[in-house]
Structure 1
Amino acid sequence: MRPVDLARPHGLSGQAVRNYEAAGILPAADRTPTGYRRYTPLHAAALRTFLALVPAHGHATARRIMTLLNTGATEEALTAVDAGHAELLADRRTLDAIERALAELTPGPASSPAHRATTVGALAHRLGLRPATLRRWERAGLLRPGRERGTGYRTYTADDVRDARIVHQLRRSGYLLAQIAPLLDELRGATSPDSASAAIAERRRRLHTRALAMLNASAETGRYLGVLDGGGAGGADGPAE
C-alpha cells in the first residue's frame, strides 16, 4: 500500500502517515529498490490502533503506547494503558467528590451579614480538624477569613464555613491543596442548584464518552498485539507510492 492508500479511509493525508512512521507510531516500512515506502496490513492495524487510542488517552500517551508496542516494550505499553484507566477512575471519584461538595453550596439563613461569625476554634471543632489545618488552608489561598477588630482574630462567615466544608470533603477524597484551588473556584461559581446539576451531568457525559473510547482502544490494541505476535504484515503488497 502507498501512504495515500493507508491514509484515505481515515480522512488523513499521505504526509500524515509518513509523519506517523517517522514518530514511531507506525512500524518502519520496507522500501522498494527505488526508495518508495511499502505499507502492509501491519501498518494499517497500527494506524487504526493509534487513532482509537487518541480519544481515549490523548495524543501524547497514544503515541507513547504505540512506540512502546512497536519496539517490543509490551509491558510498558500496557502499563501506560492501565494508567489511563486508573486516571478515568480517579476522574469519576473526583466528580463524586465535587457532587458531594456542591451539596454544601446550598445557602441557608446563616448567609445573612448579621449572622455571628465563627471562630477558627469553633470551625475546627465542627469539622473535626485542628485550627492549624484551617490556617494552612488559608495560607494556600483556599480560605479567606476576615479579622476581628482590635484582636485580629480570624472570623469565618457562612460562606467561609461552606468553603471549609468543601475543602475538607475534597481533602478526604485525596486531593492536594494545589488541586483543590481550581475546583473550589468552580464550585464557588455554581450560582444555583440547576447550574451545578447541569455541570455535573456534562462532566458525567464526558466521562462516559471517554470510557467508551477506552473500550474501543483496548479492543484495537488487543487486535494489534495479535498481529504483532503473528508477524501480521502478511498480504500482497499494493502499488508503491
Structure 2
Amino acid sequence: MRTTDVARESGYSAQQVRDLERLGVIPPAVRSDNGYRSYAPLHVCALRAYRGLAEAVGPVEARRLLAELRTATVTEAASAVDEVHARLARERAEVLRAQRALQGIRAEEDGRDDDFMTITQLAEALGVRSSTLRFWEEEGLVRPERVTTLRARRYGPAAIRAARVVVALRAGGYGIPAVREVMGALDGLDGLEDARRILRGRLDRIAARSVALLRAGADLAAVVTAADATRAAPGSPQ
C-alpha cells in the first residue's frame, strides 16, 4: 500500500501518516530501492487503533501504549488494554461519588440550624486535613469568618456548604481551576445545579472515551495478534 492508500483507509492525511510513523505509532514502512514507502494493512489497523486510544487516554499515552502492544505477548497486551478500561471505570466511579455527595448537600442543609464549625470540626466532618481547608481558603474556594483577637477561623452555613461542594468536585477528579469556576457560580441560585451540570458533562466525556476505546478494539486485536504471530514465526527472536 502507498502512503496515500493508507491515508485514505485510516482517515489521516499522507503527512500525518508519515509523522505518526516517525513518532513510532506504526511500524516503519518497507522502503523500495527508490525510497518509496510500502505499507501493509496492519499499518492501517495501527493507525485506527491509535485514533481510538488517543481519544480514550490522550495522544502521548496512546503512543506509549501502542509501542508496548507491538512487543508484548497476548497476555501482556490484554492486561494493558484492560487497565485502560479499568482506569475509565475508576474515573466514572469518582464522578458518580461526587454526584451523590452533591445530592446529599441540600438534604443536609435543610435539616441544619445556623450553627458554626471550627476548622478542626469541619476538617473532621469532611475527612480532610485542616491544612487542606486553609489551602482552599487561599485559593478563594471556601471563605470562613475570622473571629476573636486571635483571628480564628469560623465556618458558617455558607462556608460549610461551599466546602462540601469542593470535596465533591475534587472527588470527581476536578483540578483547582475547574473547582474555582464552579464555586464562582455557587453564589447564584443555581449554583448546585451548575456543579451537577459540570459533573454530568464529565460523565459524558468519559462515556465518549469508553466508546472510542471500544471502537478501537478490533484494530488493537489485529496489532496484538500480528505481533504474537511475528514472535512465533520460525527464526524470530523469542
Indicate the TM-score class for this superposition, using the shorter chain for normalisation: 0.7 to 0.9
Q: Secondary structure at the match of 1:147?
A: strand
**1:106 alignment partner, SS class:** helix
Measure how far apart 1:88 and its partner are.
1.0
* 2:135 aligned with 1:136: no
Cα RMSD, aligned residues only: 3.5
Measure how far apart 1:229 and its partner are: 3.0
In the alignment, what sits opposite 2:39? 39
1:140–1:120 CA distance, 2 compared to 1 (3 A): closer
Q: In the TM superposition, what is the alpha-carbon distance from 1:59 to its structure 2 partner?
A: 1.0
Cα contact 1:56–1:217 (8 A) shared by 2: no
User: Structure 1, residues 114-161: CA drift from partner, whole Å, max 9, x if none?
Assistant: x55433465467x286xxx65322332254322213353321111222
- In 2 relative to 1, CA 184–198 (structure 1 residues): closer, same or farther, beyond 3 Å? closer
Residue of structure 1 equivalent to 2:62: 62
In structure 2, the CA distance between the partners of 1:80 and 1:222, relative to structure 1 (3 Å rule), is same
Q: CA deviation at 1:221?
A: 0.8
Pair 4,139 (structure 1): closer, same or farther in 2 beyond 3 Å: same
Residue 90 (structure 1) aligns with: 90
- 1:95-106 equivalence runs, <5 A: 95-103=95-103, 105-106=105-106
For the 8 Å contact 2:77–2:224, the answer to whether it is kept is no
- Distance between the aligned counterparts of 2:115 and 2:168, measured in 1? 24
Change (3 A) 1:156 1:194: closer
Change (3 A) 1:24 1:77: farther
TM-score by length of 2: 0.74
Q: State whether structure 2 residue 5 is matched by structure 1 residue 5.
A: yes
Provide Cα deviations, 1:177-201, integer angstroms capped at 9, x if missing partner: xx66446435423542543443333
User: Amino acid of the residue matched to residue 209 of structure 1?
Assistant: A
Q: How many corresponding residue pairs?
A: 220
Partners in 2 of 1:141 and 1:214 — Cα distance?
Answer: 36
Percent of pairs with identical residues:
33
2-side partners of 1:208 and 1:159: how far apart? Answer: 34
Query: Looking at both structures, which has the greater relative contact order when contacts are Cα pairs under 8 Å and sequence separation is at least 6?
Result: 1
- Shift in Å, 1:57: 2.0
Aligned to 1:234: none
Contact (CA 8 Å) 2:69, 2:223: kept in 1 or not?
Answer: no
Q: TM-score by structure 1 length?
A: 0.73
Matched with 2:149 is 150
Cα distance between partner residues in 1 of 2:6 and 2:160: 59
- Report SS of the residue matched to 2:8: helix
| 2:211 is the alignment partner of 1:216 | no
Corresponding residue number in structure 2 for 1:25: 25
Gaps of at least 5 residues in structure 1 are 232-241
1:225 aligned onto 2:220? no
Structure 2: 5+ residue stretches without partners: 231-238
Conservation of the 8 A alpha-carbon contact between 2:21 and 2:27: yes
